[in-house]
Amino acid sequence: MRKKFDYLMDLINQKKLVIGENGRVYKVDVNGELFPGEYLTGYGYYQVSVYIGNYKYLHCLSHRLIYAYHHGIDALNPKMVIHHLDFDKTNNHISNLVQITKQENSILGDGTNNNYVNYYDFKKNKIN
């Protein structure tokens, strides 16, 4: 997984990928123009897809890339998930992303029913 993020960070450093202030990922064409660099998956998440040659593509969920970009690749724990605080899978603004365990993510729910728990209440009260 580290190789994938190193490759994507290189594209960001080369200004071929741009993380927008709005939490969206853009690609840069040969004229320096920005265009959407991600697409919506069937699960409702944005995903980046980059051609790496030889008919192969590298895929990465946008919220994981944005979290790694802002916190560093080493901060991204493969055993943890990136949670959207407002439960909106398309809101990848860094202020809406937090890394938590899979168990915590299960407790918090997905915001689609009355059983979900607010993340800050969860951390404050240490709900288990």
**Predicted confidence (pLDDT) per residue in 84-106, tens digit:** 988 899 999 999 999 999 988 88
Q: What is the DSSP letter of 49?
A: E
pLDDT, residue 121, reads 67
Q: Are strands 25-28 and 38-40 parallel, antiparallel or unpaired?
A: unpaired
Mean pLDDT of the chain: 87
Per-residue pLDDT of the chain (128 residues; tens, 9 = 90+): 678 889 999 999 999 999 999 999 999 999 999 999 999 999 999 999 999 889 999 999 999 999 999 999 999 998 999 999 888 999 999 999 999 999 888 877 766 655 556 666 666 565 44
Handedness of CA 23, 31, 47, 43 (dihedral sign): positive
SS3 75: helix
Q: What is the DSSP letter of 88?
A: -
- What φ, ψ does residue 4 adopt, rounded to 5°? -60, -45
SS3 106: helix
What tokens appear for 69 in the block? 């970009």
Global pTM value: 0.86
Nearest to 97 by CA among 73, 69, 117, 67: 67
